[in-house]
Structure 1
Amino acid sequence: MVGGKGTRLRPLTVNTPKPMLPTAGHPFLTHLLARIKAAGITHVVLGTSFKAEVFEEYFGDGSEMGLEIEYVVEDQPLGTGGGIRNVYDKLRHDTAIVFNGDVLSGADLNSILDTHREKDADLTMHLVRVANPRAFGCVPTDEDGRVSEFLEKTEDPPTDQINAGCYVFKKELIEQIPAGRAVSVERETFPQLLEEGKRVFGHVDASYWRDMGTPSDFVRGSADLVRGIAYSPLLEGKTGESLVDASAGVRDGVLLLGGTVVGRGTEIGAGCRVDNTVIFDGVTIEPGAVIENSIISSGARIGANAHISGCIIGEGAQVGARCELNAGMRVFPGVVIPDSGIRFSSDQ
């Protein structure tokens, strides 16, 4: 399911759907598709909505990845359940595995499918254990792994198991979701299945899991892929402190740390330090700049000796020399900040 607008990541998502943002050298969705292919699954249906044409233009019929990809466009917001129901007519098999398209996961997909078969489940949910479940909906299970209830966020959760956004459905259950209207699987479909006595099980593990919806999570997820903390078949043998496209120009004395990514045609001047940052294609960073925990969009220019920390710089934006940008600032596409135009310290 890749239909969301990605509003929390604006301005990155003004022109690009969130699942197509460059992440560790590839559009994010490509990492998920590579994991799907590695698990032996070859037929994929993408439920799209916002900027739907971008997906088909990039992936086509999927043959370059060894997949067969079909597309279903959501013309009106249908929610998590309605979006799943909307692709029903394209499903070919009695079992369908559904993915939230903006989750970075290290789960073993074949193990989840094995649990589904072994339990003869109607629905199997991937549940991941987290250190602080208070920020998420919790899903308790009994000693046999059967789901007992679905809980909203609570200050005193009874379990550390949360919904990880990956589900295995018997196809017949998807047909029963109401068509043509917004439906929430979390608030409507799943509780109803429990009421009806359906066999709903959890596949519980402590695998890598991250919702890529916020700037900080996006940066961390990309860095974890580059460093091999999160696994992607696309990066086998390529992990390390940084990932630099062969066409990029990185001058002497540049430090690239913390899983930094440097995109195609980007130029980084001498003496720069870039830490835990995602740099898209065609960026120019002039000498002496220091950038950390940030995202620099395609075509942006960063002036000499600028300091940027925890920011998003939009497409084609220009940050002047000696500027200081901190604390979650978002520079929208095409904006020009003059030399020393923004500073947090006195200009000396």
Structure 2
Amino acid sequence: MLEDVEAVILVGGKGTRLRPLTLSAAKPMLPTAGVPFLAHLLSRIRAAGVRRAVLGTSYLAETFEQGFGDGSALGLELTYVTEEEPLGTGGGIRNVADRLTAETVLVFNGDVLCGTDLSAVVETHRRREADVTLHLVRVPNPRAFGCVPTDAEGRVLAFLEKTEDPPTDQINAGCYVFQRKVIDEIPAGRPVSVERETFPALLAAGARVWGHVDNAYWRDLGTPADLVHGSADLVRGIAPSAALPGPPGERLVLEGAELARDALVFGGTAVGRDVRIGAGARVEGSMLFDGAVVGPGALVRHSVIGYGAQVHDGAVVIDAVVGDRAIIGAHCELRHGARVWPDVALPPHGVRFSPDV
């Protein structure tokens, strides 16, 4: 257990491009698998034995404190620190330094969904007597990320930018263990990137920077597609969380939702409160926020339907985002990353993506 370790979570950046389409004044924290996304990370931190966490916030900072309070309901003590201007990852860590009391600090990027064993990461850090330890994951296509090569013992050798010919499939997973003295040495009051400034400087100075490499579940939720798939993985139990408001399965249905008996809802779909799904509708691997309506015979696949939005009879919505209170008229067809802004109303047959045959 990690009672002597504190956590820092960097949250509140503008994050996923889904946010402008779906944020409601009444529901400011983006729900993922039925609860605010951050609740999943907080539940894993608590399960690992950490008792105190500091949230470094900026964008819509007040909503986090309103949503989680002092953390007692989660079994945590939460403290909030707001950035007055964007400080980057390193600057954000330094900005919370005066609220820390532990010598060993777990740091998380708040827009990453991960299933690694946090106790194992800290154990690697302590066994190696590291100054900083990075959680590294192996990905099928490291060209899309910067990569982090290590030697045979796991010591970090370099931080490399994206390249068409990466020397390793290991990437930075957005979870770190810092010794407090390293945090105090980060320049204060200005933007700092840990990837481009802090970590390379530590390597150049001969500091002990280690990698903890595993094949745990990992997904960056910076795009709507990743958010939708991450939510589905949480609902199905593929991504671990102690905050899921129900047993894992093919769908998660919150109170007040009404599903027609012959509606097919599966693939890790999260169905919000007071949602209505009509007869013969098919909803696969999607996020339906509170009050959404999916009409009879409609098809919704790998999509987000915002608060109070309506998808009318026979409409098709695939790999798309429908903003709060928008209306998709009967037999419209949206595909391939389409975005419908809040309060927009598309008339019946008004949009079609596939050719008539």
Q: Which amino acid aligns with 2:187?
A: P
Q: Which amino acid aligns with 1:94?
A: E
1:65 matched to 2:41? no
Pick from 317, 320, 337: which aligns with 2:326? 317
Q: Which amino acid aligns with 2:63?
A: V
Matching residue of 1:21: 30
1:326 matched to 2:330? no
SS in 2 for 1:333: coil
Matching residue of 2:5: none
The answer to whether the 8 Å contact 1:19/1:101 transfers is: no
1:93-151, CA deviations, whole angstroms, 9 ceiling, x for partnerless residues?
01111000010001000000111111110000000111111111111111111111111
Matching residue of 1:131: 140
Counterpart-to-counterpart distance in 2, 1:72 and 1:10? 22
The answer to whether the 8 Å contact 1:47/1:87 transfers is: yes
Counterpart-to-counterpart distance in 2, 1:11 and 1:310? 17
SS in 2 for 1:235: coil
**Structure 1 stretches of 5 or more lacking a match?**
none
Matching residue of 1:248: 257
Counterpart-to-counterpart distance in 2, 1:327 and 1:346? 14
1:134-191, CA deviations, whole angstroms, 9 ceiling, x for partnerless residues?
1111111111111111111111111111100000000111111111111110000000
Pick from 278, 291, 294: which aligns with 2:303? 294
Pick from 43, 51, 64: which aligns with 2:52? 43
| TM-score normalised according to structure 1 size | 0.96
Q: Quote the sequence identity (%).
A: 61
Change (3 A) 1:14 1:245: closer
The answer to whether the 8 Å contact 1:19/1:29 transfers is: no
Counterpart-to-counterpart distance in 2, 1:62 and 1:7? 25
Matching residue of 1:186: 195
Q: Show the 5 A alignment for 1:182-221.
A: 182-221=191-230
Matching residue of 1:267: 276
**How far apart are 1:11 and its partner, in Å?**
3.0
SS in 1 for 2:20: coil
**How far apart are 1:344 and its partner, in Å?**
2.8
1:279 matched to 2:288? yes
- Say which structure, 1 or 2, has more relative contact order (CA 8 Å, 6+ apart): 2
Matching residue of 2:166: 157
Counterpart-to-counterpart distance in 2, 1:19 and 1:258? 26
Q: Which amino acid aligns with 1:308?
A: V
| TM-score normalised according to structure 2 size | 0.94
Change (3 A) 1:19 1:121: farther
Matching residue of 2:107: 98
Q: Show the 5 A alignment for 1:102-113.
A: 102-113=111-122
Q: Count matched residues.
A: 347
Q: Which amino acid aligns with 1:333?
A: P
Counterpart-to-counterpart distance in 1, 2:310 and 2:355? 23
**How far apart are 1:3 and its partner, in Å?**
2.6
Q: Which amino acid aligns with 2:147?
A: C
Counterpart-to-counterpart distance in 2, 1:346 and 1:79? 46
**How far apart are 1:265 and its partner, in Å?**
0.8
**How far apart are 1:321 and its partner, in Å?**
1.0
The answer to whether the 8 Å contact 2:274/2:291 transfers is: yes
**How far apart are 1:19 and its partner, in Å?**
9.9
Pick from 174, 181, 184: which aligns with 1:172? 181
Counterpart-to-counterpart distance in 2, 1:294 and 1:157? 32
Say what the alpha-carbon RMSD is for the aligned residues.
Answer: 1.7
